[in-house]
Structure 1
Amino acid sequence: MATTKWSIDPTHSEIGFKVKHMMFTNVSGKFGTYEATITTDGDNFENAAIEFSADIASVDTANADRDGHLRSGDFFDAENHPKLTFKATSFKKINEGSYEITGDLNIKGVSKSVTFPVEYSGILTDPWGNTKVGLSIEGKINRKDWGLNWNSALETGGVLVGEEVKLNIELQFVKQA
Protein backbone atom coordinates (compact mmCIF):
# COMPACT_ATOMS: atom_id res chain seq x y z
CA MET A 1 0.00 0.00 0.00
CA ALA A 2 1.28 3.46 -0.86
CA THR A 3 2.20 5.80 1.95
CA THR A 4 0.30 9.04 2.27
CA LYS A 5 1.75 12.31 3.54
CA TRP A 6 -0.40 14.78 5.47
CA SER A 7 0.70 18.35 6.26
CA ILE A 8 -0.75 20.60 8.91
CA ASP A 9 -3.20 23.33 7.94
CA PRO A 10 -2.13 26.13 10.33
CA THR A 11 -5.18 28.29 9.55
CA HIS A 12 -7.41 25.58 11.05
CA SER A 13 -5.19 24.33 13.87
CA GLU A 14 -4.31 25.57 17.35
CA ILE A 15 -1.70 24.44 19.86
CA GLY A 16 -3.16 25.63 23.15
CA PHE A 17 -2.38 25.23 26.84
CA LYS A 18 -3.66 26.40 30.23
CA VAL A 19 -1.88 26.80 33.56
CA LYS A 20 -3.31 27.83 36.94
CA HIS A 21 -2.31 31.31 38.09
CA MET A 22 -2.28 32.00 41.84
CA MET A 23 -3.90 28.57 42.25
CA PHE A 24 -7.39 29.69 41.22
CA THR A 25 -7.65 30.94 37.63
CA ASN A 26 -6.33 29.60 34.34
CA VAL A 27 -4.03 31.52 32.03
CA SER A 28 -4.31 30.37 28.43
CA GLY A 29 -1.61 30.42 25.82
CA LYS A 30 -0.70 28.99 22.45
CA PHE A 31 2.17 28.54 20.07
CA GLY A 32 1.76 30.55 16.86
CA THR A 33 4.49 28.92 14.75
CA TYR A 34 4.66 25.16 14.42
CA GLU A 35 5.04 22.30 11.96
CA ALA A 36 3.53 18.84 11.89
CA THR A 37 3.44 15.93 9.48
CA ILE A 38 1.71 12.58 9.44
CA THR A 39 2.63 9.62 7.26
CA THR A 40 0.02 6.86 6.93
CA ASP A 41 -0.48 3.63 4.99
CA GLY A 42 -3.03 4.90 2.49
CA ASP A 43 -5.83 6.50 4.50
CA ASN A 44 -5.38 4.18 7.50
CA PHE A 45 -4.24 6.18 10.55
CA GLU A 46 -3.47 3.16 12.74
CA ASN A 47 0.29 3.23 13.45
CA ALA A 48 0.67 6.60 11.68
CA ALA A 49 4.08 8.27 11.92
CA ILE A 50 3.49 11.68 13.50
CA GLU A 51 6.01 14.46 14.09
CA PHE A 52 5.46 17.92 15.54
CA SER A 53 7.58 20.92 16.48
CA ALA A 54 6.74 24.38 17.84
CA ASP A 55 8.90 27.50 17.91
CA ILE A 56 9.33 28.61 21.53
CA ALA A 57 9.67 32.23 20.38
CA SER A 58 6.05 32.03 19.16
CA VAL A 59 4.56 31.41 22.62
CA ASP A 60 1.63 33.80 23.11
CA THR A 61 -0.37 34.34 26.30
CA ALA A 62 -1.66 37.81 25.28
CA ASN A 63 0.84 39.46 27.65
CA ALA A 64 4.23 40.54 26.28
CA ASP A 65 5.98 40.57 29.68
CA ARG A 66 4.73 37.08 30.55
CA ASP A 67 5.65 35.78 27.07
CA GLY A 68 9.17 37.19 27.50
CA HIS A 69 9.45 35.46 30.88
CA LEU A 70 8.28 32.16 29.36
CA ARG A 71 10.97 32.43 26.66
CA SER A 72 13.68 33.12 29.29
CA GLY A 73 15.90 30.65 31.11
CA ASP A 74 13.35 30.52 33.96
CA PHE A 75 11.07 28.50 31.69
CA PHE A 76 11.65 27.41 28.06
CA ASP A 77 15.11 28.99 27.51
CA ALA A 78 14.32 29.79 23.86
CA GLU A 79 17.85 31.00 23.18
CA ASN A 80 19.35 27.55 23.87
CA HIS A 81 16.26 25.44 23.09
CA PRO A 82 14.37 27.19 20.26
CA LYS A 83 11.88 24.35 19.62
CA LEU A 84 9.81 21.84 21.49
CA THR A 85 9.31 18.60 19.59
CA PHE A 86 7.08 15.54 19.69
CA LYS A 87 7.59 12.29 17.80
CA ALA A 88 4.97 9.58 18.07
CA THR A 89 6.08 6.07 18.97
CA SER A 90 2.54 4.66 18.79
CA PHE A 91 -0.82 5.76 17.35
CA LYS A 92 -3.41 3.13 18.05
CA LYS A 93 -7.13 2.92 17.39
CA ILE A 94 -9.28 2.44 20.48
CA ASN A 95 -12.61 2.50 18.63
CA GLU A 96 -14.30 4.45 15.84
CA GLY A 97 -13.29 8.09 16.28
CA SER A 98 -10.97 7.39 19.21
CA TYR A 99 -7.21 6.85 19.21
CA GLU A 100 -4.37 6.98 21.70
CA ILE A 101 -1.06 8.64 20.88
CA THR A 102 2.20 7.90 22.69
CA GLY A 103 5.44 9.61 21.89
CA ASP A 104 8.51 11.47 23.03
CA LEU A 105 7.93 15.09 24.05
CA ASN A 106 11.18 17.07 24.12
CA ILE A 107 11.17 20.41 25.95
CA LYS A 108 14.28 22.32 26.99
CA GLY A 109 16.52 19.36 26.10
CA VAL A 110 14.54 16.89 28.23
CA SER A 111 12.71 14.05 26.47
CA LYS A 112 9.90 12.11 28.18
CA SER A 113 7.32 9.67 26.91
CA VAL A 114 3.71 10.89 27.12
CA THR A 115 0.35 9.34 26.18
CA PHE A 116 -2.80 11.27 25.30
CA PRO A 117 -6.29 10.39 24.04
CA VAL A 118 -7.04 11.60 20.50
CA GLU A 119 -10.43 12.34 19.00
CA TYR A 120 -10.33 11.47 15.28
CA SER A 121 -12.87 13.32 13.12
CA GLY A 122 -12.49 11.09 10.09
CA ILE A 123 -11.56 12.09 6.54
CA LEU A 124 -13.53 14.59 4.48
CA THR A 125 -13.17 16.64 1.33
CA ASP A 126 -13.45 20.42 1.74
CA PRO A 127 -15.30 22.67 -0.76
CA TRP A 128 -12.04 23.23 -2.70
CA GLY A 129 -11.37 19.51 -3.25
CA ASN A 130 -8.73 19.07 -0.51
CA THR A 131 -8.81 15.83 1.50
CA LYS A 132 -8.57 16.64 5.21
CA VAL A 133 -8.48 14.94 8.58
CA GLY A 134 -8.99 16.45 12.03
CA LEU A 135 -7.46 15.41 15.34
CA SER A 136 -8.25 16.82 18.80
CA ILE A 137 -5.83 16.09 21.63
CA GLU A 138 -6.37 16.90 25.28
CA GLY A 139 -4.02 15.96 28.05
CA LYS A 140 -2.00 17.06 31.04
CA ILE A 141 1.68 17.23 31.81
CA ASN A 142 3.66 18.40 34.82
CA ARG A 143 5.95 21.20 33.62
CA LYS A 144 8.57 20.31 36.26
CA ASP A 145 9.15 16.96 34.51
CA TRP A 146 10.83 19.00 31.74
CA GLY A 147 12.80 21.34 34.00
CA LEU A 148 10.34 24.25 33.81
CA ASN A 149 10.73 24.81 37.55
CA TRP A 150 10.43 28.56 38.16
CA ASN A 151 7.84 29.65 40.68
CA SER A 152 7.13 32.22 43.34
CA ALA A 153 5.56 31.58 46.74
CA LEU A 154 2.46 33.57 47.63
CA GLU A 155 2.11 35.29 51.01
CA THR A 156 -1.28 33.64 51.36
CA GLY A 157 0.26 30.20 50.82
CA GLY A 158 0.59 28.27 47.62
CA VAL A 159 2.43 29.31 44.48
CA LEU A 160 2.06 31.78 41.62
CA VAL A 161 2.23 29.26 38.74
CA GLY A 162 0.64 25.80 38.76
CA GLU A 163 2.71 22.75 37.90
CA GLU A 164 0.01 21.04 35.83
CA VAL A 165 -0.26 22.18 32.22
CA LYS A 166 -3.48 21.30 30.39
CA LEU A 167 -3.04 20.79 26.66
CA ASN A 168 -5.81 21.58 24.20
CA ILE A 169 -4.66 20.86 20.66
CA GLU A 170 -6.80 21.09 17.54
CA LEU A 171 -5.13 19.84 14.37
CA GLN A 172 -6.33 19.82 10.78
CA PHE A 173 -4.19 18.07 8.17
CA VAL A 174 -4.29 18.20 4.37
CA LYS A 175 -3.50 15.14 2.27
CA GLN A 176 -0.54 15.81 -0.01
CA ALA A 177 -0.72 14.84 -3.68
Structure 2
Amino acid sequence: MKRITLVASALLVSFATFAQTTWKVDKAHAKLGFTVTHLLMSEVDGNFKTFDATITSSKEDFSDASFELTADLATANTDNEGRDAHLKRADMFDVANHPTLTFKSTSISKVADKKYKLNGNLTIKGVTKPVSLDLTLTGVGKDGRTQKPKVGFKAVGTIKRTDFGVGGMPSAVVSEEVELRALGEFNQQ
Protein backbone atom coordinates (compact mmCIF):
# COMPACT_ATOMS: atom_id res chain seq x y z
CA MET A 1 0.00 0.00 0.00
CA LYS A 2 2.88 2.38 0.79
CA ARG A 3 4.35 1.78 -2.68
CA ILE A 4 1.05 2.64 -4.39
CA THR A 5 0.77 5.81 -2.28
CA LEU A 6 4.36 6.83 -3.15
CA VAL A 7 3.79 6.21 -6.87
CA ALA A 8 0.53 8.16 -6.78
CA SER A 9 2.24 11.02 -4.94
CA ALA A 10 5.08 11.07 -7.48
CA LEU A 11 2.58 11.19 -10.34
CA LEU A 12 0.68 14.05 -8.71
CA VAL A 13 3.90 16.00 -8.16
CA SER A 14 4.94 15.37 -11.78
CA PHE A 15 1.50 16.41 -13.03
CA ALA A 16 1.49 19.50 -10.81
CA THR A 17 4.94 20.48 -12.08
CA PHE A 18 3.81 20.41 -15.70
CA ALA A 19 0.12 21.33 -15.42
CA GLN A 20 0.10 24.41 -17.69
CA THR A 21 3.49 25.60 -16.49
CA THR A 22 4.93 28.97 -17.47
CA TRP A 23 8.66 29.42 -18.11
CA LYS A 24 10.30 32.88 -18.35
CA VAL A 25 13.55 33.54 -20.19
CA ASP A 26 16.67 33.95 -18.03
CA LYS A 27 18.03 37.02 -19.82
CA ALA A 28 21.52 36.54 -18.39
CA HIS A 29 21.70 33.21 -20.24
CA ALA A 30 19.90 33.98 -23.51
CA LYS A 31 20.52 35.61 -26.87
CA LEU A 32 18.35 36.67 -29.80
CA GLY A 33 20.27 37.28 -33.01
CA PHE A 34 20.35 37.40 -36.78
CA THR A 35 22.82 36.97 -39.63
CA VAL A 36 22.78 38.45 -43.15
CA THR A 37 25.22 38.10 -46.03
CA HIS A 38 26.95 41.30 -47.13
CA LEU A 39 28.12 41.81 -50.75
CA LEU A 40 27.70 38.07 -51.41
CA MET A 41 30.95 37.41 -49.52
CA SER A 42 30.74 37.86 -45.76
CA GLU A 43 28.29 37.50 -42.92
CA VAL A 44 27.19 40.25 -40.59
CA ASP A 45 25.84 39.18 -37.21
CA GLY A 46 23.53 41.19 -35.02
CA ASN A 47 21.49 40.77 -31.88
CA PHE A 48 18.77 42.46 -29.89
CA LYS A 49 19.93 43.57 -26.45
CA THR A 50 16.41 43.85 -25.02
CA PHE A 51 13.87 41.06 -25.43
CA ASP A 52 11.49 38.90 -23.44
CA ALA A 53 10.23 35.37 -24.01
CA THR A 54 7.77 33.01 -22.35
CA ILE A 55 6.96 29.33 -22.80
CA THR A 56 3.74 27.70 -21.63
CA SER A 57 3.50 23.91 -21.57
CA SER A 58 1.62 21.17 -19.77
CA LYS A 59 3.73 18.25 -21.04
CA GLU A 60 7.07 17.23 -19.63
CA ASP A 61 8.57 16.81 -23.13
CA PHE A 62 7.26 20.27 -24.21
CA SER A 63 5.47 18.73 -27.19
CA ASP A 64 2.51 21.06 -26.57
CA ALA A 65 4.57 24.16 -25.78
CA SER A 66 3.49 27.64 -26.76
CA PHE A 67 6.21 30.27 -27.28
CA GLU A 68 5.91 34.07 -27.23
CA LEU A 69 8.74 36.52 -27.81
CA THR A 70 9.02 40.30 -28.04
CA ALA A 71 12.17 42.23 -28.97
CA ASP A 72 12.91 45.95 -28.79
CA LEU A 73 14.08 46.79 -32.32
CA ALA A 74 15.81 49.96 -31.12
CA THR A 75 18.33 47.73 -29.33
CA ALA A 76 19.57 46.03 -32.53
CA ASN A 77 23.34 45.77 -32.28
CA THR A 78 25.79 44.80 -35.04
CA ASP A 79 28.92 46.30 -33.46
CA ASN A 80 28.86 49.16 -35.98
CA GLU A 81 27.29 52.46 -34.86
CA GLY A 82 26.47 53.67 -38.40
CA ARG A 83 24.80 50.40 -39.38
CA ASP A 84 22.92 50.22 -36.07
CA ALA A 85 21.59 53.76 -36.62
CA HIS A 86 20.51 52.80 -40.16
CA LEU A 87 18.62 49.76 -38.82
CA LYS A 88 16.37 52.15 -36.86
CA ARG A 89 15.38 54.23 -39.93
CA ALA A 90 12.13 53.91 -41.89
CA ASP A 91 13.60 51.84 -44.74
CA MET A 92 14.79 49.21 -42.27
CA PHE A 93 12.96 48.51 -38.96
CA ASP A 94 11.17 51.90 -38.80
CA VAL A 95 11.57 51.94 -35.03
CA ALA A 96 9.66 55.23 -34.64
CA ASN A 97 6.47 53.58 -35.91
CA HIS A 98 7.12 49.90 -35.17
CA PRO A 99 9.28 49.59 -32.04
CA THR A 100 8.95 45.84 -31.49
CA LEU A 101 9.30 42.50 -33.21
CA THR A 102 6.97 39.75 -31.98
CA PHE A 103 6.70 36.00 -32.43
CA LYS A 104 3.75 33.88 -31.29
CA SER A 105 3.79 30.17 -31.95
CA THR A 106 0.80 28.52 -33.59
CA SER A 107 1.92 24.87 -33.48
CA ILE A 108 4.73 22.59 -32.43
CA SER A 109 5.50 19.08 -33.62
CA LYS A 110 8.10 16.68 -32.34
CA VAL A 111 10.31 15.41 -35.19
CA ALA A 112 12.94 13.49 -33.18
CA ASP A 113 14.23 13.18 -29.63
CA LYS A 114 14.60 16.77 -28.37
CA LYS A 115 13.94 18.14 -31.90
CA TYR A 116 10.79 20.02 -32.90
CA LYS A 117 9.32 22.07 -35.72
CA LEU A 118 7.95 25.31 -34.27
CA ASN A 119 5.51 27.27 -36.40
CA GLY A 120 4.26 30.72 -35.60
CA ASN A 121 3.54 34.26 -36.67
CA LEU A 122 6.39 36.76 -36.84
CA THR A 123 5.54 40.46 -36.92
CA ILE A 124 8.05 43.09 -38.06
CA LYS A 125 7.07 46.64 -39.16
CA GLY A 126 3.39 45.78 -38.73
CA VAL A 127 3.64 42.90 -41.21
CA THR A 128 2.77 39.44 -39.88
CA LYS A 129 3.94 36.34 -41.73
CA PRO A 130 4.02 32.64 -40.82
CA VAL A 131 7.49 31.26 -40.11
CA SER A 132 8.83 27.81 -39.33
CA LEU A 133 11.74 27.31 -36.95
CA ASP A 134 13.88 24.31 -36.06
CA LEU A 135 13.69 24.00 -32.28
CA THR A 136 16.03 21.95 -30.09
CA LEU A 137 15.56 21.18 -26.41
CA THR A 138 19.16 21.70 -25.28
CA GLY A 139 18.79 20.67 -21.66
CA VAL A 140 16.70 20.28 -18.53
CA GLY A 141 17.95 20.88 -14.99
CA LYS A 142 17.69 23.03 -11.89
CA ASP A 143 18.80 26.54 -11.08
CA GLY A 144 21.81 26.29 -8.77
CA ARG A 145 20.58 29.07 -6.48
CA THR A 146 16.82 28.59 -6.36
CA GLN A 147 16.66 24.84 -7.10
CA LYS A 148 13.70 25.60 -9.39
CA PRO A 149 13.48 23.72 -12.70
CA LYS A 150 15.22 25.22 -15.76
CA VAL A 151 15.07 24.28 -19.42
CA GLY A 152 17.16 25.32 -22.41
CA PHE A 153 16.05 25.79 -26.03
CA LYS A 154 17.63 26.86 -29.30
CA ALA A 155 15.58 27.96 -32.33
CA VAL A 156 16.88 28.71 -35.82
CA GLY A 157 15.15 29.63 -39.05
CA THR A 158 15.35 31.80 -42.14
CA ILE A 159 13.08 34.61 -43.29
CA LYS A 160 13.04 36.88 -46.32
CA ARG A 161 13.59 40.45 -45.09
CA THR A 162 11.61 42.09 -47.91
CA ASP A 163 8.53 40.04 -46.97
CA PHE A 164 8.44 42.33 -43.93
CA GLY A 165 9.35 45.54 -45.79
CA VAL A 166 12.85 45.64 -44.32
CA GLY A 167 15.57 47.22 -46.47
CA GLY A 168 15.12 48.31 -50.05
CA MET A 169 18.70 47.61 -51.11
CA PRO A 170 19.48 44.88 -53.68
CA SER A 171 20.21 41.36 -52.46
CA ALA A 172 23.75 41.67 -53.85
CA VAL A 173 24.37 44.27 -51.13
CA VAL A 174 22.44 42.63 -48.28
CA SER A 175 20.99 39.14 -48.70
CA GLU A 176 17.25 38.69 -48.92
CA GLU A 177 17.53 35.77 -46.52
CA VAL A 178 18.09 36.51 -42.85
CA GLU A 179 18.97 33.72 -40.47
CA LEU A 180 17.29 34.06 -37.07
CA ARG A 181 18.73 32.46 -33.93
CA ALA A 182 17.32 32.40 -30.43
CA LEU A 183 18.79 30.44 -27.58
CA GLY A 184 18.50 30.51 -23.86
CA GLU A 185 17.56 29.14 -20.52
CA PHE A 186 14.04 29.44 -19.12
CA ASN A 187 13.08 29.38 -15.44
CA GLN A 188 9.90 27.71 -14.24
CA GLN A 189 7.55 30.24 -12.66
Tell me whether the two structures share a fold, i.e. TM-score over 0.5: yes
Task: Please give the residue correspondences for 1:35-46 in structure 2 after superposition, counting only pairs within 5 Å.
Answer: 35-41=52-58, 43-46=60-63
Residues 50-93 of structure 1: CA deviation (Å, up to 9, x unaligned) = 11000001100011110110111010000000000000001221
Long gaps (5+) in structure 2: 1-14
Residues 4, 43 of structure 1: 8 Å contact kept: no
What is the CA–CA distance in structure 2 between the aligned matches of 1:162 and 1:82, rounded to whole Å? Answer: 23
The worse-fitting range, judged by mean Cα deviation, of 79-88 and 129-138 is: 129-138
Higher strand share: 1
Query: Which one of 27, 30, 33 corresponds to residue 44 of structure 2?
Result: 27
What is the CA–CA distance in structure 1 between the aligned matches of 2:28 and 2:133, rounded to whole Å? Answer: 23
TM-score normalized by structure 2? 0.86
Moved over 3 A (4+): none
Which residue does the alignment assign to 2:122?
A: 105
2:80 is the alignment partner of 1:67? no
Which residue does the alignment assign to 2:8?
A: none
2:72 is the alignment partner of 1:55? yes
1:74 is paired with a residue of what secondary structure? coil
Residues 112-143 of structure 1: CA deviation (Å, up to 9, x unaligned) = 00111111124211322131111111111110
Residue identity opposite 1:85 in structure 2: T
Give the total of aligned pairs: 171
Which residue does the alignment assign to 2:160?
A: 142
1:66 is paired with a residue of what secondary structure? helix
2:101 is the alignment partner of 1:84? yes
Identity level (%) = 40
Which residue does the alignment assign to 1:155?
A: none
2:28 is paired with a residue of what secondary structure? helix
2:187 is the alignment partner of 1:170? no
> How much does 1:94 deviate?
1.5
Higher helix share: 2
CA RMSD of aligned residues (A): 1.4
TM-score normalized by structure 1? 0.91
Long gaps (5+) in structure 1: 153-157
